[in-house]
């Protein structure tokens, strides 16, 4: 479970996130939506521990800043960042050791194969394309075997095969009880994935729906009804 309570963050006088509350229940896929500047990245970075904030963030019931919470949590940032001098495989091994993950060699091979990176294991970080970096970033997050995973615009830069695979992986994570939060603008990419959606505007959650509440309505219909925008 991922619980956000009373989360606020200001940059100087600019209140980017104002007393936000939401929960992604155990084993569900949450989608965080909102127009540019709504505060999504600020929330994502707060959950990932990259910003100071006011309020409470709990991962599997544990305060997000604790080592025990970090152990069960993985984050795929919007912009991947690699170690120039580590190979693809060494990135995975590094994460595996840092998290004391019990992922097996076979599982690592499987993840790399799924994202068509198995034949690129010896490439260095600075030899990768942007899409390849994104794939390595996703593989590293999966190597944690997380109980909660946060994906920030994970489909940007991926080719169609990798997008398809990522969707399958997200469904697979859910089936194993992992809690997932995805922040994205690509509504059509997450249409068939979500269990609960939250829409932000100007630092607030202005509405949310569970899949049941939505009664079959499209994600973009729900989004534009809340934000008052036009459906494209
Ligand atoms: P986008 O969809 O464009 O990525 P977002 O919903 O992720 O937008 P944020 O990046 O969280 O929005 O920005 C929320 C507000 O905080 C905006 O007003 C933005 O200008 C401001 N902001 C974000 N980062 C900083 C920063 N490092 N310094 C100052 N202001 C910031």
Topology of domain 1-72+146-232 in CATH is: Rossmann fold (3.40.50)
Give the C-alpha distances (Å, rounded to integers) separating 225 from 90, 195, 201.
46, 18, 13
Q: Which residues line ligand 1 (CB under 6 A)?
A: 11, 14, 16, 34, 36-42
Give me the residue spans of the domains in the chain: 1-72+146-232, 82-145
CA of 205 to the centre of ligand 1 (A): 15
Give one word for 53, left, alpha or beta, with left for phi > 0 and alpha for psi -120 to 50.
beta
User: Which atom of ligand 1 is nearest the CA belonging to 17?
Assistant: 14
Q: Read off the pLDDT of each residue in 41-52 and give the average, rounded to a whole number.
A: 95
Residues in Cβ contact with 224 at an 8 Å cutoff, skipping those fewer than 6 apart: 230, 231
**Is residue 143 scored above 80 in pLDDT?**
yes
What is the structure's pLDDT at 175?
A: 94
- pLDDT, one tens digit per residue, over 151-184 is 999 998 899 999 999 999 999 999 999 999 999 9
Question: Measured in angstroms, how far is the CA atom of residue 16 from the centroid of ligand 1?
Answer: 7
State the closest ligand 1 atom to the C-alpha of 34, by its place in the atom list counted from 1.
Answer: 6
Give the span between the Cα atoms of 138 and 163, in whole angstroms: 11
The 10s digit of each residue's pLDDT in 28-42 is 999 999 999 999 999
Q: How confident is the model at residue 227 (pLDDT cuts 50, 70, 90)?
A: confident
For residue 46, the SS3 value is helix
């Amino acid at each position: 479970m991922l619980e956000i309570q009373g989360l606020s963050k200001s940059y100087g006088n600019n209140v980017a996130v104002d007393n936000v509350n939401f929960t992604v229940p155990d084993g569900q896929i949450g989608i965080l939506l909102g127009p540019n500047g709504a505060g999504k990245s600020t929330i994502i970075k707060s959950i990932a521990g990259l910003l100071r904030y006011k309020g409470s963030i709990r991962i599997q019931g544990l305060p997000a800043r604790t080592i025990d919470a970090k152990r069960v949590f993985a984050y795929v940032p919007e912009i991947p960042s690699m170690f120039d001098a580590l190979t693809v495989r060494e990135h995975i091994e590094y994460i595996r050791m840092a998290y004391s993950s019990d992922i097996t060699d076979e599982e690592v091979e499987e993840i790399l194969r799924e994202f068509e990176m198995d034949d690129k294991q010896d490439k260095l970080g600075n030899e990768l394309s942007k899409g390849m970096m994104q794939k390595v970033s996703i593989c590293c997050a999966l190597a944690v075997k997380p109980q909660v995973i946060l994906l920030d615009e994970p489909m940007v830069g991926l080719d169609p095969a990798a997008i398809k695979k990522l969707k399958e992986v997200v469904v697979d994570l859910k089936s194993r009880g992992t809690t997932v939060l995805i922040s994205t603008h690509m509504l059509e990419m997450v249409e068939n994935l979500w269990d609960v959606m939250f829409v932000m505007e100007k630092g607030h959650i202005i509405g949310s729906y569970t899949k049941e509440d939505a009664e079959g309505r499209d994600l973009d219909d729900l989004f534009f009804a809340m934000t008052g925008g036009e459906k494209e």
